[in-house]
Homo-oligomer: A and B are copies of this chain.
Amino acid sequence: MKNYISLSDIENFEQTITEGLQLKNNNTAANLGKGKTLGMLFFNPSLRTRLSTEKAAKLLGMDVMVMNADKDGWALEFEDGAIMNSNKAEHIKEAVAVLSQYCDIIAVRAFPGLEDRKKDEEDLVIKSFKKYATVPVVNLESATGHPLQALTDAMTITELQKTKRPKVVLTWAPHPRALPQSVPNSFVEAMHRMDVDFVIANPPGYDLNPEVRKDTQVFHDQDEALKDADFVYVKNWSSYESYGKILSEGSSWTFSGKKMLLTNDAKVLHCLPVRRNVVIADAVLDSPNSVVIQQAGNRTFAAQVVLKKLLENAGENS
């Protein structure tokens, strides 16, 4: 693996999941990253991604340098050919080329603006990093995807599944703010690569990008979708059709104890942070059905297996 920009960078998904879970039980690669440096750049806040990726790198023996882009450094220009006489002090070309001098792997987080769909879909920040970096680049959540989260999600389902082909439901839930589609997008991609019975539930107007969901069945009736679910992934996202908009309060979609009863005693996943009693009810989050903490714990090992593959590939080519 040369970069980890999207889930499609993983060649053998099943093997990667297995390897991630093996690292969780036995850190066989504690010295692989010795003398190597991971640089992490945040254009947006982060708790889990920040700490789990830093932890993963250190489990591999790597050094880690963390920067809050813009706050610690300089405002960046992304446009080719720009005459830089305004407030942007540095072009992404130099910033990334320079980071490549100091880091052996660069990881970057940059959320979408949720105003201009076409612009967000260009995923300019992560794409520019990939374009200008001379070292591997890792996506810590971009405008359109969150592949480290999705790998974690797949690892957690694998770890917990009791049947050969479990039913997995991704259900929309309400939220007071307009959120990106990056987490659900990558989760859908992950489910397409697993042997699961996968459906999506969301209110009308909230259908995800058709190029991402492909032929996945979409229910506009949550209760119907939840029937016999073994895993329920609860997550809000803003409208893709009416891009970035909140179309309705949707309070009947809050994932409550009553909704749980429709499932096959399902395990409940969420990427966190979660708005309690808006997205998921206390009764669910505080029950043994909730696996959100175990899921967050797996972030470390998803990041570790990705960094391991990038280091191994770099080692082979050097």
Residues of A at under 8 Å CB distance from B? 37, 39, 42, 45-48, 50-52, 54-55, 58, 63, 65, 67-68, 71-74, 77, 81-86, 89-91, 93-95, 97-99, 101-103, 176, 272-278, 282, 285, 292-293, 296-297, 299-300
Other-chain contact of A273, B74, B81, B285 (Cβ < 8 Å)? B74
Q: Is A73's CB under 8 angstroms from B47's CB?
A: yes
Q: How far is the CB of A173 from chain B (nearest CB, A)?
A: 12
Is the beta-carbon distance between B45 and A73 smaller than 8 angstroms?
Answer: yes
- Taken together as a complex, chains A and B put the C-alpha atoms of A55 and B37 apart, in Å, by 8
Contact call B275/A85, Cβ cutoff below 8 A: yes
Q: Is there contact, CB below 8 Å, between A84 and B276?
A: yes
Q: Which residues of B contact A276 (CB under 8 A)?
A: 77, 82-84, 91, 93
B83 touches A274 (CB 8 A): no
For this chain, the copies found in one complex come to 3
CA distance A58 to B297 in the complex (A): 24
In the complex, are the beta carbons of B63 and A58 less than 8 A apart?
yes
Whether A82 touches B277, Cβ cut-off 8 Å, given contacts A90-B272, A101-B293, A293-B94, is: yes
